[in-house]
Structure 1
Amino acid sequence: MNNLKNIQTFYFVGIGGIGMSALARYFKMQGKSVFGYDKTPTDLTDELVAEGIPVTFNDEISEIQKEVLSKENVLVVYTPAIPKGNKILNYFFSEEFSILKRAQLLGEVSKNTLCLAVAGTHGKTTTSAILGHLLAECNMPVTAFLGGIAENYNSNFIYKGSEITVVEADEFDRSFLQLRPDIACVTSMDADHLDIYGDVVEIENAFRSFAQLVENEENVFIKRNLPLDGMTVAVEEPADYEAQNVKIENGAYLFDLKTPNGTLENLTFHLPGHHNLTNAIMALGMAILAGSPTDCLPKALASFKGVKRRFSYKIKTDELVLIDDYAHHPTELDALFQAVDEMYPNDHKQIVFQPHLFSRTRDFAEGFAKSLSNFDEVVLLDIYPAREEPIEGITSEWLLNQVEAQHKRLVFKSALPEVLLKSKCRIKLLVGAGDIGAEVNKLTKILKNEA
């Protein structure tokens, strides 16, 4: 790919994906013609259509627009999540169109900018959203491509200029090795995507390779105790960037940030959980290194509202708290429990969890069982398959048998309203990366007696 400026038409196969749609929005904003295909309509694809991006949901070659078929100055972009049998994508390959994976395109877009890349098996989306928000609020010329919907913008895309890019560096399919970051961070590097990597050693090697893409190790921020070289980040533990004097007031963290060049005092951050506070420190460090004036950072951080489905409060009253969260790995469930238990130590907690992927459920069953057992009531939905075929013997019932919580059950989604209404737990959590997210608004209305 010599020059994206010469490309006039973009076709995204899998345009409804959170990362793909951000790129589609970017090129639409650049005045390009943008089209796409996805399997099913969603709120996100509805928004793209409303923004003037035609989307088809029928995997037939006849659905491809004539502007794309001309092939001249056309680029096709796809995500590795697209099934191998997809007719539209296979047509583009057979006709030898110019084709890039999403990660390759992201690398091209960010190549001639100051590229700030956020990596980690957990925390990427929240950290990159905080970072994009800090830079935008400090009037820095930033474009941010996010893996979630930032509440402040109701979008997965922030645009305030094109000199700086904030990108999520995704380890799936080793995508992040396509980037050339100037400043980077690694929030975590737990075992995950073992269907790609095989074992944790290979995952760590990939993150090591990613960190080495940055020329100066002082431009790499790492969570304390990770086996990488870089500037360490921690909450009330010795580190290069350390949150000190941490207190909780009115559901928010108050803290001071010690940096190698002094201390930022009286910072306020509204997202619960030490993992989120660590994410905020990462973002602050990267923003400072990118040239953000430090006097604007406290106000910017305090105004950050969060990311949808990342500890999102749907109901917050004296009688009931309903929280929606994307957690789909034992480490994320542990962080979620730490956050909710810190905020509500004296309340009983019910979790409704939809496991994501048969392989992940199999590979981390012991961890999932242990994490889920922290909650007072555990409700499991069937495993969400995403891109996978079933694995014999790997079911939610099999996982539930390993959970030690006293109150536990397996239910269909149709039974969720009754299960939630009957539970005496004040704190209720709807958790998972599958289609449980589509149930949240309906369940919220029922619990608010609005149904």
Structure 2
Amino acid sequence: MDLNQIHNVYFVGIGGIGMSALARYFKFIGKNVAGYDKTPTHLTDELKAEGIAIHFEDKVELIGLPFLNKENTLVVVTPAVPKNHLQWNYFLNNGFVVKKRAEVLGIITKDTYCFAVAGTHGKTTTSSILGHVLYEAGLDVTAFLGGIVENYNSNLIGSGKTITVVEADEFDRSFLHLHPNIACITSMDADHLDIYGDAASIEASFREFADKVEDKKHLFVANGLPLEGVTVGVNEGEFAAVNIRIEDGWYVFDVKTPYETVKDIKFGLPGHHNLTNALLAFAMAKTYGVSSEDIMRGLASFKGVRRRFSYQIKKQDFVYIDDYAHHPTEINAVYQAVSELYPDKKVLAIFQPHLFSRTRDFAEGFAKSLSAFENIVLLDIYPARELPIEGITSKWLLEKIENPNKKLVAKSDLIPLLKMSDADVIVTIGAGDIGEMVPEIKKVLDEKN
């Protein structure tokens, strides 16, 4: 497929974080871009402000005339769209070129030098750090990201033609469409069991992805993963963060590499998981040939990713943090960072579970990770692409949490509860529409404090 022959790109599910990065890319290179999504969000508002036409009703007549020319139109579809979707079926039944997001990423990046970041957690942060480091070092790069990077207020960095940075998404085995020259794997926890069935199938899929990198000196793996590659980790590994300390809220550390030690690197994102993410980006950039000085400058100036341990309020006596964590391992990472930074503060964590199947599959893990917090509030499960599963509810999950300071709250009752709270640190956690509530929560807490 030749993208030069394509004039129009239509997105079914344009509001998704990965889809919107592609929409921005195609708009940037001069294509005519439009799309559909189920509901308006902050992200669709931003895309509309950038001149992309978006509508929220599944009607064929809303597609728009230019996009009905199948000779020069590409249709990009998200896996979250239901099989009976009218617009999707119209395109399929009328001979249009219809591709999944991952296939399109594969096509765009095939003729570039491709950095791919895989893993069940840490993909977005690691690829964002890497994209920022390469861009700040003056390289001709485009980074397609699964989150909004605070430095750019976008999920797209740069407009380079020769180097790409992509998140290699294991959902739906999407990452097997990519052609990586350098890659890393951050983690391989069980997730997406609705797609894979079991942990062994997920591991097999990651091994297949790892095999796409021919030179194993160009494959970087977080310490402890059962894969052949260059190991990276906190205090151990071929690339290791050592002599770690916290100074004025920053991590300061040295990196021991196979050939030198780079001293006094500053990095602002809290939590040991973020140190590993920074280290993976360091190792990949260094191996490509970026100087240690340029990497250090990039790490020090990286401001983070929206909804990844994202400070909404940071005052001496009150803090509000928002995080996208939706898996027990990620919740543990949030807890580790909060407890390291605020050991003597009263913490309230508010969690919205994401997907009925994930809540069922990891119920024991969720209960254990949430029990670590001093005070916990659960919201109802966010269904996303799923129908309810009998017996799987937030009330059921709440009963498994051992901490006595726990309660289930309707979303509509959350704001009144926060007005009454005496917590010093409040954390909202989850990948559902709790993210859309953050501005309102921030406003209420600002007024209160």
- Could you say which TM-score interval applies, normalised by the shorter chain? over 0.9
Aligned counterparts, 1:408-423, within 5 A: 408-423=406-421
Partner of 1:223: 222
Amino acid in structure 2 at the alignment position of 1:110: T
- C-alpha contact (below 8 Å) 1:9/1:74 kept by paired residues: yes
* 1:318 CA displacement: 2.3
Q: How far does the alpha carbon of each residue in 1:380-400 deviate from its partner, in whole angstroms, 9 at most, with x for none?
A: 000000000000000000000
Which residue is 1:403 aligned to? 401
Which residue pairs with 2:332 in the alignment? 334
Show the 5 A alignment for 1:231-310: 231-237=230-236, 239-310=237-308
CA offsets 1:399-427 (integer angstroms, 9 cap, x no match)? 00000112100001121122223232211
* Structure-2 separation of matches of 1:335 and 1:279: 12
Counterparts of 2:75 and 2:228, CA distance in 1? 37
* In structure 2, C-alpha distance between the alignment counterparts of 1:448 and 1:440, rounded to whole Å: 12
411-420 or 431-440, larger mean C-alpha shift: 411-420
Q: Secondary structure at the match of 1:165?
A: strand
Q: Find the aligned partners of 2:153 and 2:415 in 1 and give their Cα distance.
A: 27
Assess if the C-alpha contact under 8 Å between 2:187 and 2:222 holds in 1.
Answer: yes
Instruction: Name the amino acid aligned to 1:101.
Output: K
The number of aligned residues is 449
Tell me, yes or no, if the aligned pair for 1:349 and 1:377 is still in contact at 8 Å.
yes
Looking at structure 1, the residues matched to 112 and 259 of structure 2 have their Cα atoms a distance apart, in angstroms, of 25
Give the match for residue 368 of structure 1.
366
C-alpha distance after superposition, 1:311-368 (max 9, x if no partner): 0011111221110000000000001100111111111211000000000000000000
Q: 1:40-439 counterparts in 2 under 5 A?
A: 40-237=39-236, 239-439=237-437
Q: Counterpart of 2:187 in 1: which secondary structure?
A: coil
| Aligned position for 2:438 | 440
Equivalent position SS for 1:68: helix
Letter in 2 for 1:135: L
Q: Which amino acid aligns with 1:313?
A: Y
Give, as a single letter, the amino acid of the residue that structure 2 aligns with 1:337. Answer: Y
Looking at structure 2, the residues matched to 311 and 194 of structure 1 have their Cα atoms a distance apart, in angstroms, of 26
Where 1:147 maps in the other structure, the secondary structure is strand
C-alpha distance in 2 between matches for 1:449 and 1:329: 32
| 8 Å Cα contact 1:224/1:233 also seen in 2 | yes
Gaps of 5+ in 2: none
Partner SS for 1:204: helix
The one-letter code sitting in structure 2 at the alignment partner of 1:312 is S
Helix, strand or coil at the partner of 2:166: strand
Separation of aligned partners in 2, 1:291 and 1:109:
23
- 2:201 partner SS: helix
The answer to whether the 8 A contact 1:136-1:160 is kept is no
1:228 partner amino acid: L
CA contact (8 A) 2:131 2:165 kept: yes
Q: RMSD in angstroms over aligned alpha carbons?
A: 1.1
Asked if structure 1 preserves the Cα contact closer than 8 Å seen for 2:70 and 2:95, the reply is no
Deviation per CA, 1:61-93, whole angstroms, max 9, x where unpaired? 000111011212111110101111110001000
Q: CA deviation at 1:49?
A: 1.4
- What do residues 421-450 of structure 1 show as CA deviations (whole Å, max 9, x unaligned)? 323221110010000011111011111117
Distance 2:54 2:71 in 1: 20
1:126-176 Cα distance to aligned partner (Å, 9 max, x none): 000000000011001110000000000000001142211000000000000
* TM-score relative to the length of structure 2: 0.99
Letter in 2 for 1:125: T
Cα distance in 2 for partners of 1:449, 1:418 equals 13
In 1, distance between residues paired with 2:31 and 2:420? Answer: 52
Report which stretch shifted further, 289-298 or 197-206: 289-298
Q: Is the 8 A contact 1:139 1:160 kept in 2?
A: no
What is the CA distance between 1:293 and its match in structure 2?
2.3
Aligned partner of 2:274: which letter? N
Question: How far 1:296 moved relative to its partner?
Answer: 1.4
> What is the CA–CA distance in structure 1 between the aligned matches of 2:45 and 2:160, rounded to whole Å?
26
- Per the TM alignment, residue 264 of structure 1 is displaced from its structure 2 partner at its CA by 1.5
Kindly indicate whether the alpha-carbon contact (under 8 Å) linking 1:115 and 1:182 is maintained by their aligned counterparts in 2.
Answer: yes
Equivalent residues of 1:9, 1:67 under 8 A apart: yes
Identity, % of aligned pairs?
60
Partner residue, 1:35: 34
CA distance in 1, matches of 2:232, 2:353: 30
* Matched letter for residue 93 of structure 1: L
Residues 450/155 of structure 1: CA separation in 2 closer, same or farther (3 Å cut):
farther
TM-score normalised by the chain length of structure 1: 0.98
- Asked if 2 retains the 8 angstrom alpha-carbon contact of 1:313 and 1:322, the reply is yes
The DSSP-based 3-state class of the residue aligned with 2:143 is: strand
In the TM superposition, what whole-angstrom CA distance separates every residue of 1:282-332 from its partner, at most 9, and x where no partner exists? 001111122222221111110000000000011111221110000000000
In the alignment, the residues of structure 2 paired with residue 14 and residue 289 of structure 1 have an alpha-carbon distance, to the nearest angstrom, of 36
2:118 and 2:185 in contact (8 A); partners too: yes
Q: 1:207, 1:188 → 2: CA distance?
A: 10
1:252–1:268 CA contact under 8 A, matched in 2: yes
Q: Which amino acid aligns with 1:58?
A: E
List runs of 5+ in structure 1 lacking aligned partners: none
Deviation at 1:58? 1.2
SS in 2 for 1:447: helix
